[in-house]
Amino acid sequence: MAQVTRQRVLPIQFRLPPRVLGTMVFRRLLCFSLAVEGLADMDFIAKTFGQDMDFLWGTATASFQVEGAWNASGRQPTIWDDWFHSGAHARRYDADSYNWGDVADDFYHQWPQDVERIGSLGFNAFRLSIAWSRVMPYNVPNREGVDYYRRLLTNLKERGIAPFVTLYHWDLPNDKDWLDPKIVEQFETYVDYCFEVFGDLVTHWLTFNEPWSFCGAYGGDRSPPATNSTAAKYLCGHHMLLSHSAAVRLYRAKYQADQLGKIGITLNYDWGEPYNTSSEADQYAAQLHHDFNLGWFADPVYLTGDYPESMKRLLGEDLPKFTAQQSQELKGTFDFYGMNHYTTSWIRAQEGVVPPLSSTHQRDDGTFIGPQQQSSWLYVVPWGIESCLLYIHSRYGDVKELVITENGVDVKGESQVPFPDILNDTVRVNYYDQYLTHVAQARWKGVPVKGYFAWSLLDNLEWNDGYEMRFGITHVDFSVSPPKRYAKASSKWFEALFDLMTPLTIIS
C-alpha cells in the first residue's frame, strides 16, 4: 500500500481528513447550534485562510495572568504583586480563593501540558510574554529565569509552534516607573538581554501590549500605579513610545540580520461607530475616538512619527512633544501591525469633556449594540472587527502584515455554571465563528491579515476582575491544587476548523 499526500484545492467542496472523522458529530451539532443565530461560517473561514501556509493561528497568554510562582526563580515583585498584596486593593472573594497572581494557572510548572494542548488542537503559534522581573530582577540578569523561558521556547519550536513573544505585558518591576525618563534606558537594557538570550528561538517580538491600558492606569485609580493624573497618563505613553523606538532600532541594528525575526507592537482598538451616522458632530466625535484610542500610538509608529493633530490641539501642554530626531526615529518602527480587539460602541458628541465625546452601548430607545457579556464593556458586535481592519488598512497603508494578537469573549455568568456544563461554551463558539467571518471578509477586501490569536488559551487572572471573567478556550478549575484544565467546546471548534484546512492524506 502506498501513501499519497495531496493538497486540498479551495474553494472546491471541503472533505474532512480521516483523523477528524471522530469530530464529525461535534461539527454537525455545532453547525446546528449556530443555525439558531445564523449560518455556520467555518467553511468560509477555512476557504479564506486554508491555502495560506504562512498564516499564524494561535492562542495567547500573559506572564502575570497565568504563571504564578510569584516568588520563585529569583523573580522580583511587580507593581501588580504589590497592588494585590496590599489589603486596600484585595477583593476578598477572589483573594481568598485563588491568591490573585501568586498561583494563577500555575503555568510556570504546568506549561508542558499546556504546550501539548496547543499543538494537539492544531495551533501553529503561541503568544506569551516574558516577565521583566523574572529575567532581570533589580537590573541583574537572572539565569534561572532565563532557563525557564528557554525551555518553554525550545519546546514550542520543536513542536513547530511559532513563539510570538511580548516583552512587556503590564507586569512592571516594582522599583520602576513609566513616568521616570530613565525607564527608556532601563527598558532598552532589558530587551537587549532578551534579544541576546532568546532571539534564536523567537520568530516575532512585540515590544508592548496595549499601552492605552497600562498608561491609562496612570489616569485613574483602579489599577496600579493609579496616580489619577491626565498629564501622567500621557507622559507614560510618551516614554513608552520612546522605549519602543529604542527597542526596535536596537533589534534591527544588532540582531535582526542574524536572527531573522520580526518586531512590532500590539495596540488595542475597539471600534467606535457614530451614534447618528447622519450627524456631522457624531462623525467628528467618532474620528476623535479613533485618534485618542488608536492614533495616540499608531500615528507616531505607522504614519507620521508624531501624535494626531486633534490630540495636540485638545490636550495642549498635557501632551509631551517629540524632538525632530525622536519623531524621525520613531516613524516606521514596525515589521507588522499587532491589533487587539474585543467589542464596539456608539460614539456621540458631548461638550465639556476632553475629548468632546461619550461612548454608549445603548440607544435612547433601549436598543443595545449587541449582547452584553461578563465584562461591563464587552458587547458582542462581530461587524466591528471588520470596520477596525478596514480603517487600519486605509489609514496606515504602509502596513503589509497585520496580526490580530487578541480576540475573545468572557461569557456572561460562565464562572457560576456548574461542571461539566461550563465546558459547553456555545456563546464563545458563536463569537469566534462570527468574528472570524468578518476577519475573512476583510481579508477578501484586501486587508493583509496574516495571523489570529484567540484570547485566551486558559481561564486566567483578569487583573482587577480576578477570576470572575473567563476568556479561556480551556476551563481551569482553580479550586484544586494545582489548577486543573478541561477542554471547552470552543477549543474543539478551532480543532475542527484546522482539520478543514489540513492537507488530505489518502491511503491507496
CATH number of the structural domain spanning residue 490: 3.20.20.80
Distance of CA 247 to the CA centre of its chain: 20
Distance CA 104, CA 83 (A): 15
Question: Domain residues for 243?
Answer: 3-507
- What do you get for the CA distance between the two ends of the chain, in Å? 6
Q: Centre a 10 Å sphere on the Cβ of residue 481 and count the other Cβ atoms it contains.
A: 8
Cell of 359: 461612548
Whether residue 201 is predicted with pLDDT greater than 70 in this model: the reply is yes
Whether residue 239 is predicted with pLDDT greater than 90 in this model: the reply is yes
Task: Summarize pLDDT for 343-372 with one digit per residue, the tens.
Answer: 999 999 999 999 999 999 999 999 999 999
Determine the pLDDT at residue 161: 98
Mean pLDDT in residue range 7-36:
35
- The amino acid at residue 316 is G
- The amino acid at residue 505 is T
String of DSSP letters for 368-392: BSS-B-SSTT-B--THHHHHHHHHH
pTM: 0.92
Q: Which residues are catalytic?
A: 210, 406
Task: Summarize pLDDT for 400-417 with one digit per residue, the tens.
Answer: 999 999 999 999 999 999
Give the start-end residues of each E strand in 316-445. Answer: 337-340, 344-349, 357-360, 402-406
Identify the sign of the CA torsion 80, 83, 84, 90.
negative
Whether residue 273 is predicted with pLDDT greater than 80 in this model: the reply is yes
Question: Which comes out higher in pLDDT, residue 465 or 236?
Answer: 236
Determine the pLDDT at residue 222: 87
| Domain tally, the chain | 1
Omega within 30 of 0 (cis) for the link into 503: no
Name the H helices within 160-217.
183-198, 211-216
Determine the pLDDT at residue 21: 32
The CA R_g of the chain, rounded to the nearest whole Å, is 22
Least confident segment among 32-46, 163-177, 206-220, 491-505:
32-46
Distance CA 500, CA 68 (A): 36
Which residues neighbour 360 within 8 Å (Cβ) at sequence distance 6 or greater? 275, 345, 346, 348
Determine the pLDDT at residue 90: 59
Identify the sign of the CA torsion 403, 406, 411, 412.
negative
Task: Summarize pLDDT for 306-344 with one digit per residue, the tens.
Answer: 999 999 999 999 999 999 999 999 999 999 999 999 999
Report the C-alpha dihedral over residues 121, 67, 94, 418, rounded to 10 degrees. 20
